[in-house]
Structure 1
Amino acid sequence: MNKRDRRVQRVLQITLVLNLVVMIMKLAVSWYSGSLSLFVDALHSMTDSFNNILGLAANHAAAAEPDREHPYGHQKFEALGALAIAAFLGITCLEIVRGAIDRIIHGSKPVQMSESVLWVMLAVLGINILVVLYERNVGKRTKSQILLADAADTMSDIWVTMVVIIGLVGVWMGYQWLDVVLAFPVGVLVLKSGWEILRSNLPWLVDEMAIDPKHIHRHAMSVAGVAGCHDITSRGLLGRQAFIEMRLVVTATDVDSAHKIVKKVENRLKAHYQPVRIAISIEPLGYCIDNNAYS
């Protein structure tokens, strides 16, 4: 495991401990108060803990070097982990709606409120804010999708907690119905977070184009000895691991000279898109192509 992956693992371990603390605090307060919205918030925090465990497993799998069975590496395990987080959020949203409808139909006991409940929730909010800032900062530096996805999940937890706190203040003022009503916008916030994670990771899993072919063509044509390039494709995730394939028309008439030109093109592309793996097929000078296709 390289330095980057060890750092991601350490962040996930720290946030797992913090999320477990937050979950226990919310469960204790929700049991004391009998608040539905607070219990839903605790359920959301429980998914955060599961997500951290899932992230640790996914990051460990993604850190493995390419092997015979996985010649392109294991980086997609990170994206799979992020999609599982989105699935957890979807399940949480369904539980929120189900619980709210059940209380509307069958009713429930009045929510018990006190100053200690609000102070605990404010402490929880502060912990979550620190977790988001920490994970997002490290996630951007390491370009870890699992950290960014987990930060987005915890960010949704912050909004949920803020809504719950507002509802609890309302309940304290005598508006008991707020506890059930606010469960619905909480569900919307959770669903929105899951959708954003899904949208950001699907392109990687379905091999969507990672780099505009025009940009690759421009870099390749700037190398001396290149007469043209075509059939340019790319996939992966730019900044994490990209793959480029192309056919290159060179002016060289011998293999050694052609190989040197190819190496220059590879170095030029690596300078702009590293980490990247490049596969180039060489075409003879007489090969007819339309360079205007990438203009």
Structure 2
Amino acid sequence: MPTTTASPEGSRRYQAGRRVTLFAAGINLFLAIIKFTGGIFGHSQALIADAIDSSADLFSDMAVLYGAREGSRAPDSKHPYGHGRVETLVSVFLGAVLLATAAGITLSAAQRLLSSDLLMPPEPATLLVAVIAIGLKEWIYRYTLRVGRETRSRMLEANAWHQRTDSISSLVVLLGVGGSLLGMPYLDPVAAIGVSVLIARVGWQLLWQSVSELADVALSRDRVAAIRAAIRDVEGVHDLHLLRTRQAGPDALVDVHVQVNPHISVSEGHRIAEHIRERLIADLDEVSDVLVHIDTEDDQSFERGRTLPLRADLEQKIRSTIAGLPSAEQVKRVQLHYDADRIGVELHLPLAVTTDTRSAQALAEQLCAPIRLLPNIAEVAVHFVT
């Protein structure tokens, strides 16, 4: 059955995001009300534009809450990589809303500029509203940004910068209203257009980053370099290739091929892979999952080794080749080492089949000689074991 509960980390992130977003929503509701009131009764187009922006903020806060809740859910059978991309989709939506809001404000302000009858000087009280908005928006920006960085939530960080943009837009409103009161009424709609440009800039950046994430764009060069360095520093790693990274909401996913000594055991190779995974998750905050493919060579060329036979066919051929030779039926294990387009073979025989070193060497040569003539065989060794 698929699970819908949040992981411990996801639950912590959601609770922190929910708390700061609800607080921001309350402030945005308050600001929207006083801005609309002040803009309508104070005759300020810039303040009304800022009120529309605050209303969009309230709308976006609700979307952020939804994204934080859904994105914190644990992986399930339908979403084995988790639900982090829900946050990304919400960010795309927020970016589109911001761009649409900016377009509407610009159109309204342009109409006022083109019609002198619509230009009315604002009331002095609108200055006080703008000052209150600047102070509250700057404070909620800092609070939201801190929580976003602590929880590694790009969505919260984007919302924080949105709050900062509102603070700047309120400052533009302050300048526009002030200029209008000094006898330049056209400055108020000009300030409204300035606000819309700031809104559009944030909306475009948010939309572009989120769409890039949906397209599985790699992490930044600095983060990829850090991942590469951490992998190379793990004991047993000879080299690495085909390193791939992608973002999934607040988390990063990593796939990598790692080259190790071709003669170590499968279990040792597995332990190296697990150590790489554990280290990347522990050292790099954003990395949540790592898939490590263990290689004995650089296998970026698809052609290398693709025609080599697998164990069942090759072992049958080896045993049939040495059938009838002394002690051939005593071979306990055939070990295969695939290296590029060649195969190394080890035969394990009981130590009891030999009486001294000279007879062991002679027996080994008798068994190795015909196997060396088989296709794709690079080397053959015989080991006598207890």
TM-score normalized by the length of structure 1: 0.88
1:227 aligns with 2:238: yes
Say which structure, 1 or 2, has more relative contact order (CA 8 Å, 6+ apart). Answer: 1
Larger Rg over CA atoms: 2
Contact 2:47 2:130 survives alignment (8 Å): no
Match of 1:278 among 290, 295, 316: 290
Residues 1:116 and 1:106: Cα distance change in structure 2 (over 3 Å): closer
Match of 2:147 among 138, 144, 147: 138
Match of 1:81 among 65, 87, 90: 90
1:166 aligns with 2:178: no
Listed as ranges, the matches of 1:1-295 within 5 Å are 1=6, 2-111=11-120, 113-210=122-219, 215-236=226-247, 240-251=250-261, 252-274=263-285, 275-284=287-296, 286-288=338-340
Contact 1:211 1:235 survives alignment (8 Å): no
Q: Deviation at 1:199?
A: 3.8
Contact 2:43 2:123 survives alignment (8 Å): no
Moved more, 208-217 or 2-11: 208-217
TM-score normalized by the length of structure 2: 0.69
User: Gapped runs of 5+ residues in structure 2?
Assistant: 1-5, 298-337, 342-386
Higher helix share: 1
Q: Deviation at 1:211?
A: 6.1
Distance 2:235 2:113 in 1: 73
- RMSD (Å) for aligned C-alpha atoms: 2.3
Q: Deviation at 1:23?
A: 0.3
Matched AA of 2:260: V
Distance 1:3 1:98 in 2: 42
Contact 2:254 2:290 survives alignment (8 Å): yes
Contact 2:145 2:157 survives alignment (8 Å): yes
Contact 2:137 2:167 survives alignment (8 Å): yes
Give the secondary structure class of the aligned counterpart of 1:182: helix
Q: In percent, how many aligned pairs have the same letter? A: 26
1:292 — aligned with what? Answer: none
Residues 1:121 and 1:220: Cα distance change in structure 2 (over 3 Å): closer
Give the secondary structure class of the aligned counterpart of 2:245: strand
Distance 2:61 2:143 in 1: 14
Contact 1:210 1:237 survives alignment (8 Å): no
Distance 2:248 2:77 in 1: 22
Cα displacement string for residues 71-98 of structure 1 (whole angstroms, at most 9, x for unaligned residues): 1111111122222221111111111221
Matched AA of 2:103: L
Residues 1:103 and 1:233: Cα distance change in structure 2 (over 3 Å): same
Q: Deviation at 1:17?
A: 0.6
Give the secondary structure class of the aligned counterpart of 1:64: coil
Moved more, 274-283 or 25-34: 274-283
Distance 1:116 1:92 in 2: 25
Moved more, 111-120 or 38-47: 111-120
Distance 1:177 1:230 in 2: 61
Residues 1:178 and 1:229: Cα distance change in structure 2 (over 3 Å): closer
Matched positions, count: 288
Give the secondary structure class of the aligned counterpart of 2:289: strand
Q: Deviation at 1:237?
A: 5.9
Matched AA of 1:105: L
Give the secondary structure class of the aligned counterpart of 1:70: coil
Q: Deviation at 1:140?
A: 1.5
Q: Deviation at 1:191?
A: 1.4
Distance 1:58 1:138 in 2: 15
Residues 1:49 and 1:214: Cα distance change in structure 2 (over 3 Å): closer
